[in-house]
Structure 1
Amino acid sequence: MSQPLTLFWPVFALRSDGRTVVNNKGTPVRNGPTESQLDRTPNEQGQSDFYRLIEKEDAKHVDWRKKLGGMLLREVGRKEDEDKWQQCILWDFPEGYRLYEHIKSKTNGETKNHSGGGHDRQDAYLYGYPKGPRKRFRSPVEFFPHLLWMLTDESSDYSNCTCRICSPNQIEVEKPAQPARPADITSATAIGARTISAPNGPVPVSRTPMPMPIRRPSTDTPVAQSPVTKPATPVTPLTAQSSPQIKAPPRLEPTPLPQLRTQDQQVDSQYNKFVNRPGEVVWFRRQGGDAFGLGLITRRWITDNGSNQAMYSIQPLSYPGFTPAEEHVDAGLSNVKPWLAWSVPSCTYEYLRQNPHLTYCQVDWKYMASGRMGDGHAEVDASILMAKAVDITYTPFERIKTVPSNGSEDRYWNGIYYGAEKIWRGEPVRLRLGMGSDVLVVTEIIEKTSPTGTNPLQTSSKVELRGDVYSYATLPAPNPKAPPALPSDNHLPLRMREDMRWRNQILLAAASGISYWKLISPNQRIAIEDVKGRWYETSILFQREFFEAVQNKGNVNGSWMNARGDATGMGRGPGVLCTDRLAAFSGAIPDQLRIVDGLAPPKDHEKPSGSMQEIELSTGAPAESNFSVDDFMNFEDPSLPFGENNFI
């Protein structure tokens, strides 16, 4: 028998000081559990000790919001609304605040809290306070004074907040709350008609907006107060001079975008044009079949035959002594995909699978191709190992200026080849920091060089990026025809703006919400190793994943792309400096190969000759083997869909 549904009144928190990333001595850090704390891998004894993000539909998430909603209505509601205290719920935590659960498990699968004691309790912590992850709230009662301050104090003066973090030395006694003006509440909170997802299914709520006037104290009726944590022993309050003061966060101003300097940079800044770029390693559909190979883009252009078809010239990666011809490939995403869109398959030779530590330069490819190492395909395996080798390199290009600095140099560049990808100033990149979904709009690429010995030509190189960090943010939109106003996005790159417009057209209709890129940390310095790779438009590469997330009420800003370093297991690391882009491909491409800038189509004498059949017959594979490129690089298999392999 189904249980009766409970009527809830949702409250929306429209103000917040929450931060998902905070500045720690000039370095942005995650405002929440660290990566090691999020790791669920058991130790040698089989015990697990980790934090997990509590989703909105989780019972504990709902319980916190019901308590906060009830306390909020109790504090600011009318006397005639007292019967609704148990039926009010905070629609979501204020923006930037996230609830995590600390879980410890024994070897037998039992769980315990962080202080020991074998039972099934796990403690929850609310992160997001702007002073960093050490300042977290341990219960709804502890967070409520801060929530009430955010929604009622127009001055944003932290000294007016009575929570234990903002006022750690204040004597916490029950006292009548200062009445706030109705405008203070109506500008910070909103009540509306929505259906709330709860653990037992959808909960209908009233479709008639409920006003929230302030219940003012009177002489004959005692004011019901919100719960307050009392210390066991009273503490003498500090004087005004000695009391620590926390200033309200300053208004964040975006950094102006740099000017576009070249034609290629202008092309790459456009929305829905060329997704991939000359100098990048990509997966591409080989001629004459459905197999995909790995290659280097050497040129791109638009056909002048009236079809205006976008095309790439791609040099397949191979091994020394064997050079497949360049191929001209339709630039559509069904034919060419970024290197990080797919995880790398295993090598075809058993010897290479058993020795995964071997690099491209350590393999005797001539001996491998002779057939004396057993069954396998030398061209396929060589392309895999070369792509992995390129993945751990970086090459700055187009130097803008050089600034001497205490015997060293700061070299400013307009772009950088980072692994398989090409990154420009003025465009977004994905970060490992924060929640793993934040982006940095790059304004400067700086290579810091310094002498490493007596020889002045021997220098060390360290690259950092500067720019503004943005986090994906959402707002409820109960009325899709009148969505809430969003901050101006004129300071964002065109690709980010157009992609967000596409997302919001779907979110407004299907999810009654709206999203935007929120500036959380302007003019930050980010080490190059903290960059996952280029940012790609959801509206172009991940439409299917986005629709599924909206339909299933999942994460609509998912990380549907691998990160640089995943293929090699290097993970976070600066990699190896290559002073020239083509030097990173030594042995895998012809010596005379060049990367062509601009959009000029190839001339007749530059068009590739030969066919895929001729290429396959001259791969060097033994005649008795039945290997084909199609057998090893066929990503059209339904078990290997685009964008779903080992995502980070």
Structure 2
Amino acid sequence: MATAKPRIPCKPVMVARSDGATTFTVRNGQAPEPNEPTREQKINTPSADGSVDYYRPVQPDGDKDLDWRRKLGQWLVLAFDSKNEHKDTQFILSRFPENYTLWEHVRVDATGARRTDGYLYGHPDGRSSRFRSPAEFFEHLAWLATPLPKGRCICKICAGKGGETQDDGTGVAVKETKPAHQNQAQTQTQTQMKPTNTMPSAARGVSTTSTRAPTGPSLEQRLDSEPNGKYLYRPGELVWYNKTKDTWGLAVISMRQIKDDSPRYLVQPLSHPFSHPPAHIKDQENDLRPWLAWSVPTLGYSKLQGCTYDQVNWEEVIVNYPADPVVDGSILAAKVIDSSYSLFEQDENALANQGERCYKGIYLGAEKIWVGEPVRLRSLGDDILVLVIKKIIERMTSPTTSNVTFVGDVWKFVKVHTPIKDLDLPARMIHDLNWRNRVEGAAQKGIWNEWRIMEPNARRTLGDVKGRWYETQALLRVLRGPATFENELARGITGDAGLWMNGRGDFNETGDLRQQDRESTFGRAVPAGFRVSRGLDDSAGDRFPDYLDQNTGIYH
């Protein structure tokens, strides 16, 4: 006998302000239309093959309705709960904002396979601006929940509508054909907690609004966000490089170039401060590895154990060192880099609280990370979690130290029997999913690789981040070797590149070190005047050298 799902007791929370509209106008002069699926979309008559495809209202207090409202209520309270007073309490949105209605798209194919998806209608821009998931609606709801919001909402739908909405002077984005009724009451809760504690005037952890014009990604940022991109590595990153057939060293990338449709990298080996090997051109990505791909090697000179790079008396070490001091110099320098961070490209237009600054990117340990891309997170057990970064916020705690917060959505890698549609993910992650499912024969096996959102607008610290997220298709071929990689693909096995990577700080007990910029992070481990190219964003116009003069060691 089937049993009903247990109902979890939840405290209700309500957002009284709404910009919802029951009707909208497609074109000026035309009669308003209902802000819901069209009449044709509601017809549930089966086709000749028995398949059906239609929309119907979601029943109040049904499973899908409760699922949406539980997630939205919980996320909303936790986002505004700066003191974590309600982290152990379950909340539910008592109702959707006025004039917002939840509909269900029902599809049953000729074989009887059934799929239902929820869509929330009511956005003042009309039925085409429906919300496809609780996560997609959350930013809009948080904007509505902020007392007297200013400017425009920056949720995915509002931000993508350009000039189709305008501010009516109260901070609510509406169309020129304004809805008949908009409730401007303040946010209220139906719990015992005080509204001033639960819903402060400045939301923490919620991206609300900004009256400043947004700035788009830079050319380099766009280049690094391309799926199946041209480069695996980025300027300023710490990497392993192949010195000889069986020997690897540590170096930093100064610049990169595409030549004959293949990437090339100019890498500068790390060393002690009194001798620096010449730079190398690497035109095979297989000759490079991410720093986090391998563990930190043991120092050759035992007396250096426990020392940092700048604590070493290098003149004395060079005289007494039994082998090559360059190797130990590079290892100690790499440990400093692994512990360091520096932010770049301050975003003057991003919304920030007093004393905070937002940046478009960060050098975190060995890697260069941009806003808008995923990073690997530490997790309990075998879960694969990533954070898709929306904001990087820094608050200085002293002239030389700071707290850095990443704001974004946490996603978990899962295997499911039904593909999840309309994922709001970076193009690189979507491309990687499509490749995995194609190789593993997801459509034939009925088991799909997907990302499931776990926590929207989450806040994480430097210590929560393991490192960059890499496409498995691109990196695992390098880490596993082409032969092993192709053999596993032929057997329908893709694996995950992150499982073959360490995390930042795994073998380094030094705390986070804030650096002024990337060059100061490298210090004396690179030649004086060493510079990291900004690539397409570089006004200096760095020229990638063509060849190395073997007699002088100078590139031309």
1:340 and 2:292 matched: yes
Q: Aligned runs of 1:314-325 on 2, under 5 Å?
A: 314-325=267-278
C-alpha distance in 1, partners of 2:426/2:355? 30
1:295 aligns to 2:251 (yes or no): yes
Residue deviations 1:177-236 (CA, integer Å, cap 9, x gap): xxxxxxxxxx9999x9xxxxxxxxxxxxxxxx999xxxxxxxxxxxxxxxxxxxxxxxxx
Distance in 1 (alpha carbons) for counterparts of 2:422 and 2:351: 38
What amino acid maps onto 1:419 in structure 2?
A: G
Question: For residues 280-429 of structure 1, what are the structure 2 equivalents within 5 Å?
Answer: 280-286=237-243, 289-303=245-259, 307-330=260-283, 332-352=284-304, 355=305, 357-370=306-319, 372-374=320-322, 376-401=323-348, 409-429=355-375
CA offsets 1:22-73 (integer angstroms, 9 cap, x no match): xxxxxxxxxxxxxxxxxxxxxxxxxxxxxxxxxxxxxxxxxxxxxxxxxxxx
| Cα deviation 1:426-479 (Å, max 9, x = unaligned) | 1000111465521011011100124x5xxxxx3641100111111112223xxx
* Structure-2 separation of matches of 1:398 and 1:504: 36
CA offset at residue 313 of structure 1? Answer: 0.7
**Residue matched to 1:156:** 66
Aligned-partner SS, 2:307: coil
Q: What is the correspondence of 1:456-535 to structure 2 with a 5 Å cutoff?
A: 458=399, 460-476=401-417, 484-489=418-423, 491-508=424-441, 512-535=446-469
Residue 592 (1) aligns with residue 539 (2): no
In the TM superposition, residue 273 of structure 1 has moved relative to its aligned partner by 1.7
Among 539, 543, 553, the alignment partner of 1:602 is 543
Q: Do the aligned partners of residues 320 and 506 (structure 1) sit closer, same or farther apart at CA in structure 2, a change above 3 Å counting?
A: same
Aligned-partner residue type, residue 156 of structure 1: L
Sequence identity of aligned pairs in percent? 35
1:365 CA displacement:
2.1
Q: Who is 1:275 aligned against?
A: 232
Q: 2:514 corresponds to which residue?
A: 577
Aligned amino acid, residue 503 of structure 1: R
Of residues 486, 492, 502, the one that matches 1:562 is 502
Q: Tell me by how many angstroms 1:607 deviates.
A: 5.1
Question: Alignment RMSD, CA only?
Answer: 4.3
Amino acid at match of 2:533: V
Alignment of 1:252-267 (within 5 A): 252-253=135-136, 256=156, 260-267=216-223
Of stretches 308-317 and 554-563 in structure 1, the one that deviates more from structure 2 is 554-563
Kindly state the Cα deviation for residue 585 of structure 1 after the two structures are TM-superposed.
1.2
Q: Distance in 2 between matches of 1:436 and 1:515?
A: 14
The within-5 A match list for 1:430-441 is 430-433=376-379, 436-441=383-388
Rounded Cα–Cα distance in structure 1 between residues aligned with 2:490 and 2:404:
38
1:325–1:610 contact (8 Å) kept in structure 2: no
Q: Partners in 2 of 1:502 and 1:553 — Cα distance? A: 11
Shift of the 264–409 alpha-carbon distance from structure 1 to 2, 3 Å rule, reads same
Q: Give 1:568's aligned amino acid.
A: N
Structure 2 unaligned runs (5+)?
9-61, 71-87, 91-105, 115-132, 138-154, 160-213
Distance of aligned partners of 1:210 and 1:251 in 2 relative to their CA distance in 1, 3 Å threshold: closer
2:392 to 418, 432, 445: 445
Partner Cα distance (2:334, 2:449) in 1: 36
Deviations 1:572-593 (A, max 9, x none): x5x0100121111111111111
Report if aligned partners of 1:260, 1:266 keep a CA contact under 8 Å in 2: no
Q: Distance in 2 between matches of 1:497 and 1:394?
A: 29
In the superposition, the TM-score normalised over structure 2's length comes to 0.57
Kept after mapping to 1: 8 A contact 2:241/2:289: yes
CA contact (8 A) 1:397 1:415 kept: yes
- The answer (yes or no) to whether the contact 1:395–1:577 under 8 Å persists in 2 is yes
Deviant stretches of 4+, over 4 Å: 15-18, 152-155, 157-160, 187-190, 254-260, 402-406, 509-512, 543-558
Q: Secondary structure, in 3 states, of the residue corresponding to 1:542?
A: helix
Task: Give secondary structure in 1 for the equivalent of 2:229.
Answer: coil
What's the offset of the Cα at 1:610?
Answer: 3.3
Please say if residues 414 and 425 of structure 1, whose CA atoms lie closer than 8 Å, have aligned partners that are also in contact. Answer: yes
Structure 2 distance, partners of 1:390, 1:210, is 53
Is the Cα contact below 8 Å between 1:295 and 1:317 reproduced in 2?
yes
* Distance in 2 (alpha carbons) for counterparts of 1:475 and 1:275: 29
Aligned CA distance change for structure 1 residues 358 and 448 (closer, same or farther; 3 Å): same
For residues 499 and 459 of structure 1, the distance between their equivalents in structure 2, rounded to whole angstroms, comes to 39
C-alpha displacement of 1:502: 0.7
- Residues 472 and 495, structure 2, Cα contact 8 Å, conserved in 1: no
Normalising by structure 1, we get a TM-score of 0.49
Structure 1 residues 526 and 363: CA distance shift in structure 2, 3 A: same
SS in 1 for 2:363: strand
Secondary structure (helix, strand or coil) at the match of 2:436 reads helix
Distance in 1 of aligned mates of 2:389 and 2:310: 34
Residue 392 of structure 1, CA deviation: 0.4
Residue 559 of structure 1 deviates from its aligned partner by 2.2
1:281 maps to a residue whose letter is L
**Contact 1:316–1:326 under 8 Å retained in 2:** yes
CA pair 611-308 structure 1, distance change in 2 beyond 3 A: farther
SS in 1 for 2:253: strand
In 1, Cα distance between equivalents of 2:542 and 2:410:
38
Contact 2:471 2:497 in 1 (8 A): no
1:114-135 CA-to-partner distances (Å, cap 9, x unmatched) read: xxxxxxxxxxxxxxxxxxxxxx
Compare CA radii of gyration and give the structure with the larger one. Answer: 1
Ranges in structure 1 where 5+ consecutive residues have no aligned partner: 1-10, 19-151, 168-186, 193-208, 212-249, 453-457, 477-483, 616-648
